Amino acid sequence: MVKQERAAHTRRALVRAAGEEFAHGGYKPVSLSRISKRAGVSYGGLHYHFAGKEDLARAVVAEAAAILRDEVCAATGSAPGDGGRGALARLVESTYRLVDRIDRDAVVRAGFTLTLAASSPDLGEDLCERWRCWVEEILAEAARAQELGAGIRGADVATAVVATTVGFEALSVRDPAWLKPDAVARFWRLILPGITSPETAAALHADRRPPRPRGTAVQRLTLSR
Amino acid sequence: MVKQERAAHTRRALVRAAGEEFAHGGYKPVSLSRISKRAGVSYGGLHYHFAGKEDLARAVVAEAAAILRDEVCAATGSAPGDGGRGALARLVESTYRLVDRIDRDAVVRAGFTLTLAASSPDLGEDLCERWRCWVEEILAEAARAQELGAGIRGADVATAVVATTVGFEALSVRDPAWLKPDAVARFWRLILPGITSPETAAALHADRRPPRPRGTAVQRLTLSR
């Protein structure tokens, strides 16, 4: 059992080290020897867990997908005691969570970097597609709950939300300020008044409770100008 | 003179071939021999014009910046006979032009791919920053002309426009549909009614004239749902 735990620990260290390398350099320029050195794991130890670089890249993207699913997109369906928070409030919160995770977590950042790099191998997952599907789902929920204004199409909101969040990730390579909560707040301050009723926008405005902890702190949306 | 023309032709062929290679593979995996082969220029001919791969990457980005300046962002200040088109109309048109150029022109696409790749060398230009500055400038013009609704901040609109267009480019690596006019239309259909007066939105809606030709066709915005 202790041996199994040690193996799991080594595997996690390798995935994290690979994430840090891929997040900085993309797929092609990264070498296995740099990853094993960064993880403090021998080359043989790396090969015990992973067949090669492609295998490691897939593990990084799979780990990023798990974080996306469990910690960013978990907020579908109002849980009991959740105060009946609406779908739009959960969408807004998830964009803050996602951008914050990309900023702070090398594995999540590398997952997107690898997904968006033309030179990546087959990764088994498409993080952007997963994110898009979840955004469309929660917007459909918002539409059913009549949280969207008359004539507002969920698909249009989804296009803007997905393209903007992915754009923040891409732009942050040159300027990290694009991953700060301020950028997300500017986007929602522009979008929300146009897509929902004044009541819902006001409720989101008033909702200044800190989010339930999920590993990283996120800032609440403020609609004040 | 004929010799000079031939040299200029060879240089252009090399920049275009480099753009096609960089657009597909990013910076690191591309080799000079692939570029010279694609351009139909000898290795010696390539080295007559360019010191190496960094030099070629900078030439691609400089050419993309020139296209951005001359053909996408040219529409600042109403030219005489331009029918006094407003700043917002020119911003909308420029987003269609930009996304269309990224879709169809390997040099422009490579310019953004290189700008957004973590592994690129110093490129001398930051295309995203150039685009952001122009978008902020034309939105300031829209604000002065009172085309923006009360309380709408140009900086918020600029954030959404820049992040969305760059996001389209990034997402298109996995799904080329993100670079089609439909995606741009969904964005503006969502944004315009919230940021401008009904009159300006209606004017943009009615403005179905084809844009003045600038090398590539772009589709007009339609606000119909």
- The beta-carbon neighbor of A155 closest among B118, B152, B186 is B186
Where does the pLDDT of residue B159 fall: very low under 50, low under 70, confident under 90, or very high at 90 and above? very high
Q: What is the structure's pLDDT at B120?
A: 86
Cβ atoms of B72 and B97 closer than 8 Å: yes
Lowest mean pLDDT among B55-64, B67-76, B131-140: B67-76
Where does the pLDDT of residue A24 fall: very low under 50, low under 70, confident under 90, or very high at 90 and above? confident
- Residue tagged 């004539």 (tokens): A151
pLDDT in tens, B177-192: 999 999 999 999 899 9
Cα angle vertex B135, ends B113, B163, to 5°?
45
Phi, psi of B134 (to 5 degrees): -65, -40
Taking CB atoms and an 8 Å cutoff, what residues of chain A touch B223? none
CA A197 to chain centre: 27
Where does the pLDDT of residue B77 fall: very low under 50, low under 70, confident under 90, or very high at 90 and above? low
Q: pTM of the prediction? A: 0.87
Taking CB atoms and an 8 Å cutoff, what residues of chain A touch B53? none
> Quick check: A172 pLDDT over 80?
yes
**For chains A and B, what is the number of CB pairs under 8 angstroms?**
150
Q: What is the structure's pLDDT at A119?
A: 81
Q: What is the structure's pLDDT at A120?
A: 86
What number is the average pLDDT over the span A113-117?
A: 91
> Quick check: B224 pLDDT over 50?
no
Specify the 3-state DSSP secondary structure of B175.
Answer: coil
Taking CB atoms and an 8 Å cutoff, what residues of chain B touch A125? none
> Quick check: B221 pLDDT over 50?
no
* Distance from C-alpha of B176 to C-alpha of B103, rounded to nearest angstrom: 8
Q: What is the structure's pLDDT at A211?
A: 46
- Residue A148: both structure tokens together: 């969207």
Residues facing B148 on adjacent strands: B196
> Quick check: A134 pLDDT over 50?
yes
User: Do the chains contact at B159 and A225, CB–CB below 8 Å?
Assistant: no
Could you give the ipTM of this predicted complex? Answer: 0.87
CB atoms within 10 A of CB B210: 9
Where does the pLDDT of residue B203 fall: very low under 50, low under 70, confident under 90, or very high at 90 and above? confident
Taking CB atoms and an 8 Å cutoff, what residues of chain B touch A117? 26, 117, 173
> Quick check: A92 pLDDT over 50?
yes
What number is the average pLDDT over the span A87-112?
A: 94
Q: What is the structure's pLDDT at B84?
A: 60
End-to-end CA distance of chain A: 56
Containing B112, the helix (H) or strand (E) segment is helix B106-116
What number is the average pLDDT over the span B62-82?
A: 75
Give the residue from chain A lying closest to B153, CA to CA. A190
Q: What is the structure's pLDDT at A47?
A: 94
CA proximity to A188, closest of A102, A46, A91, A123: A91
Phi, psi of A96 (to 5 degrees): -65, -45
List, in order, residues 6 or more apart from B5 with CB less than 8 Å away: none
> Quick check: B31 pLDDT over 60?
yes
Lowest mean pLDDT among B9-23, B30-44, B195-209: B195-209
Q: What is the structure's pLDDT at A216?
A: 39
* Distance from C-alpha of A60 to C-alpha of A14, rounded to nearest angstrom: 9
Q: What is the structure's pLDDT at A29?
A: 83
Q: What is the structure's pLDDT at B200?
A: 80
User: Do the chains contact at B119 and A25, CB–CB below 8 Å?
Assistant: yes
- How high does pLDDT run on average in chain B? 85
- The beta-carbon neighbor of B170 closest among A166, A178, A189 is A166
> Quick check: B56 pLDDT over 70?
yes
- The beta-carbon neighbor of A171 closest among B29, B156, B163 is B163
CA proximity to A188, closest of A222, A146, A153, A150: A222
Where does the pLDDT of residue B1 fall: very low under 50, low under 70, confident under 90, or very high at 90 and above? low
The shortest C-alpha distance from B115 to chain A (Å) reads 8
CB atoms within 10 A of CB B7: 13
* Distance from C-alpha of B94 to C-alpha of B96, rounded to nearest angstrom: 5
Give the residue from chain B lying closest to A162, CA to CA. B167
Taking CB atoms and an 8 Å cutoff, what residues of chain A touch B28? 25-26, 28-29, 119
What number is the average pLDDT over the span B27-46?
A: 93
* Distance from C-alpha of B224 to C-alpha of B188, rounded to nearest angstrom: 11
Q: What is the structure's pLDDT at B215?
A: 41
Taking CB atoms and an 8 Å cutoff, what residues of chain A touch B152? 190
Q: What is the structure's pLDDT at B212?
A: 43
Where does the pLDDT of residue B28 fall: very low under 50, low under 70, confident under 90, or very high at 90 and above? confident
Cβ atoms of A160 and B188 closer than 8 Å: no
The shortest C-alpha distance from A9 to chain B (Å) reads 29
Give the residue from chain B lying closest to A118, CA to CA. B25
Lowest mean pLDDT among A43-52, B3-12, B84-93: B84-93
Higher-scoring residue by pLDDT: B205, A102? A102
Specify the 3-state DSSP secondary structure of B149.
Answer: coil
